[in-house]
Amino acid sequence: MTVPTGRRERKKAATRQKIADAALGLFLERGYDAVGIREVAAEADVAVTTLFSHFASKEALVFEQDEDFEQRLTCAVTGRAPNEPLIPALRGEVQALVRHCTADSAAPVWRMIEASPALRKYEESMRLRHAETLAAAITADPALSPTPTAGRTIARFVIDAYSLAREAADPDAAVDEIFQMIEAAWQATGPSRPA
Amino acid sequence: MTVPTGRRERKKAATRQKIADAALGLFLERGYDAVGIREVAAEADVAVTTLFSHFASKEALVFEQDEDFEQRLTCAVTGRAPNEPLIPALRGEVQALVRHCTADSAAPVWRMIEASPALRKYEESMRLRHAETLAAAITADPALSPTPTAGRTIARFVIDAYSLAREAADPDAAVDEIFQMIEAAWQATGPSRPA
DNA sequence: ACCGTAACACTACCCGTTAGTGTTTCGGAA
DNA sequence: TTCCGAAACACTAACGGGTAGTGTTACGGT
């Protein structure tokens, strides 16, 4: 039961990558909705069932590496220095994530996402999941001890900030503006909160 | 080209209602996912294509009358008295909507919705649509003139309030708590705003 | 009395996704 | 070294949501 680092793992990862690459290539070239699963499987030279053993759905082919997202936000909460205030920490993390998504290199992918209702829906549910995870992290922090409702609310607001800023004309300015509102909302939940 | 109030209209509405009734009956009886479109069509004694000419999707069969939602929220913004502040008006409307959804009579339907991923996803997109409509109404109000980002943000927060309060243990208290946070966020966008 | 149109039906199909059933290939224990 | 279990992979067949294309009725307005 040692760490499994054999050839099989590498082969599996390679297959997964091959599928993801084939999918992204076809999607960007001809549009997400115009490419069928069977085509992607054929391009990657695997069976359809194999494709679905690596990815839970067609949409998941596009959001391949967005597991980080959840972790980065919760780490911004749980991994901050003692007495470091919550909101600025989240602000920094959201700022970084927004910049990452609005970089020129990511533009074609996001254009594709916004062009497909199915992908938009999928991303919406992802956001909600992230909000719930974040809410759990905030509620569990003994240095904050908000009411459950307040914790969940702040988590939603933070995810909203990410979503809105990404679409804004000036993402950086939008992050600033929205986080001023979030800061005020947070202060309203407990006036004697550490700044 | 007078107002069309003929027999055809009545027949169409009757067919639509018959489909919706058959669908809700089957869904509540056996579960949303366990009932196929073809069964609903058979129960309503119409063809599948007819069903889809009345409803855009299977999910739309459940959210039949939620066109009001959008209108009620925007009316709470556009139809308020001169100098009446924005946030309390929205608070009242959200309060009413939450009470409507958490009423005992609506419980089985909402239990069904929360039991089906497909329905939850659908409702999420509906909420986003509502947020965008509400944002447009807020941004267009000359008495408020917020920045576009602030308007969109407040709209999201209000929809979040509805969503979170509906799921909270004490919905009324949750509405109060969240709207205090929203009020603070709104004040932060323009300190000299009329209370 | 007639024409245009909208509701409705039917067939056949596409697409995402899954179940069921093997077959290969590798890691680790005997 | 040998063999076993597990996991990756393949293939067929199907299911359920949804649509295109092609009529056919039935009604409202002229």
A146-177: pLDDT as tens digits: 999 999 999 999 999 999 999 999 999 999 99
- pLDDT for residue A2: 44
Sequence-ordered list of residues with C-beta below 8 angstroms from that of A121, at least 6 positions apart, any chain: B121, B124, B125
- pLDDT for residue B2: 44
Cα angle: A99, vertex B160, A87; to 5 degrees: 45
For the whole model, what pTM was predicted?
A: 0.91
Nearest-CA residue to the C1' of C6? B8
- 8 A C-beta contact, residue B45 and residue B4: no
- pLDDT for residue A68: 81
Measuring from the CA of residue A48 to each C1', which nucleotide is nearest?
Answer: D10
B129/B56 Cα distance (integer angstroms): 16
- pLDDT for residue A107: 92
- 8 A C-beta contact, residue A84 and residue A144: no
Q: What's the token pair of residue B24?
A: 């809700």
Q: Does A150 sit within 8 Å of B181, measured CB to CB?
A: yes
Protein-covered nucleotides of chain D (CB closer than 7 Å) are: 7-13, 15-21, 26-30
**DSSP letter at B81?**
P
- pLDDT for residue B82: 86
**Strand C and chain B: which residues 4-23 have CB closer than 7 Å?**
8, 11-12, 15
Task: Give the distance from residue A145's alpha carbon to the nearest chain B alpha carbon, in angstroms.
Answer: 15
- pLDDT for residue B148: 96
Q: Which residue has the higher pLDDT, B75 or A12?
A: B75
- pLDDT for residue B144: 87
List of chain A residues with pLDDT < 70: 1-5, 191-195
Mean residue pLDDT across chain B: 91
Whether residue B188 lies within 8 A of chain A, CB to CB, comes out as: yes
Q: For residue B117, give the H/E element and its range.
A: helix B117-140
Count CA atoms closer than 13 A to A111's CA, side-chain side.
11
- The answer to whether the C-beta of B48 is closer than 7 A to strand C is yes
Which three-class secondary structure state does DSSP give residue A63? coil
Q: What's the token pair of residue A145?
A: 């001890």
Measuring from the CA of residue A122 to each C1', which nucleotide is nearest?
Answer: C16
- pLDDT for residue B1: 46
Q: Which residues of A touch B174 (CB under 8 A)?
A: 149
Q: Which residue has the higher pLDDT, B195 or B172?
A: B172
- pLDDT for residue B167: 95
Domains with residue ranges and CATH for chain B: 7-56 (1.10.10.60), 66-188 (1.10.357)
| B141-194 confidence digits (pLDDT tens) | 999 889 999 999 999 999 999 999 999 999 999 999 999 999 999 999 976 655
B146/B193 Cα distance (integer angstroms): 10
Q: Does A120 sit within 8 Å of B121, measured CB to CB?
A: no
A186/A100 Cα distance (integer angstroms): 26
- pLDDT for residue A69: 85
- The answer to whether the C-beta of A192 is closer than 7 A to strand D is no
- 8 A C-beta contact, residue B155 and residue B134: yes
Q: For residue A135, give the H/E element and its range.
A: helix A117-140
Which three-class secondary structure state does DSSP give residue A126? helix
* One-character DSSP codes across A72-116: HHHHHHHTSPTT--HHHHHHHHHHHHHHHHHSGGGHHHHHHHHH-
- pLDDT for residue A9: 80
- pLDDT for residue B4: 52
- pLDDT for residue B192: 61
- Nearest Cα residue in chain B from A176: B149
- Nearest Cα residue in chain A from B128: A124
| pLDDT above 70: residue B5 | no
Q: CA-to-C1' distance for B98 and C23, Å?
A: 56
* One-character DSSP codes across A4-22: --SHHHHHHHHHHHHHHHH
Task: Find the mean pLDDT for residues B89-107.
Answer: 95
